[in-house]
Amino acid sequence: MKVDLGKRIKFFRKRIGMSQLELEAAIDSSAGAISRIENNQVNPTKETILNISKILELNNTEIDYLIGQTALPASQEEIEKAVKEANRVLGVGHRFAYLIDERWRYYIFSKGFNNLLQMSSDDITYMQRKTTVQSLVESDSPIPKRLDKDHYYELVYSYLHNYYTNMSHMDDDPFYIDSVKSILKNPRAKEIWKKIKSKEFTPEENRLVYFNVFGNEFSLHYSYHSLATTTRFFIVEWYTENKLTDLLSKYT
């Protein structure tokens, strides 16, 4: 996969509503310079890219997607190292957790996660390399059937808004594109996505999720933290209420 730097700069420029001429003037560049950059006819210097990024008000995550570590998806070598490290973390105690990357793709799951949600080997295979968004909205995903129905669309609203806020700068990334395709195939999720993009709906981030486990509803909170050796991969860990302690001990 090759980075289309020009396409990404064009996306950010249009996002802010700036013309090529306006951007050229802002960075004190010659006429036609931005057109040549966006059409990949020239390779801009790092200094030029950083100047453009400043004018287009890009944050550090977005700049990283232009010229940094996340410009391309993690390599197989990076994935293998992350999985090896995560296996040591996820194998400790009764942990309800899994490993994802900066594109929100699943990799491995703790034994506690699999057992508590009664995940079969087919379920796990389905989930691996899918994004968390795909697992939430796809009709054949094992996740929705394990969530409380009364709170499902409340979760979809909050989660898709979080995804759009944090990931929409990856507009040309194949995994982001696949996730959006999955959203648009789900009629209700498609409606929610449209409202989020048009700023019609702005929910607060909600890290409380209602599962339906063994016929009982439980609320779980989640947090995430990067691995010690890389910031490209994260452990997402779920924390239960005290009343679930016995249940976790029994099934994990």
Domain of 60 in residue numbering reads as: 5-71
In a shared domain, residues 52 and 83: no
Please check the confidence at residue 249 and state whether its pLDDT lies above 90. no
Question: Torsions phi, psi of 166, nearest 5?
Answer: -95, -20
CATH number at residue 246: 3.30.450.180
Average pLDDT on 32-46 reads 96
Tell me the per-residue pLDDT of 137-181, one tens digit each, with 9 for 90 and over: 999 999 999 999 999 999 999 999 999 999 999 999 999 999 999
Domain-ending residue, one of 24, 45, 71:
71
Residue 241 · residue 82 · CB < 8 Å: no
pLDDT of residue 248: 53
In a shared domain, residues 195 and 150: yes
CATH number at residue 35: 1.10.260.40
What three-state secondary structure class fits 116?
helix
Q: How far apart are the first and last CA of the chain?
A: 40
Query: What is the domain count for the chain?
Result: 2
pLDDT of residue 247: 52
In a shared domain, residues 229 and 215: yes
- Band (pLDDT 50/70/90 cuts) for residue 79 is very high
In a shared domain, residues 151 and 193: yes
In a shared domain, residues 220 and 158: yes
Could you tell me which of 151, 131, 154, 155 has the C-alpha nearest to residue 141?
131
Residue 74 · residue 101 · CB < 8 Å: yes
Model pTM?
0.89
% of the chain exceeding 90 in pLDDT? 75
In a shared domain, residues 90 and 162: yes
Question: Torsions phi, psi of 77, nearest 5?
Answer: -65, -45
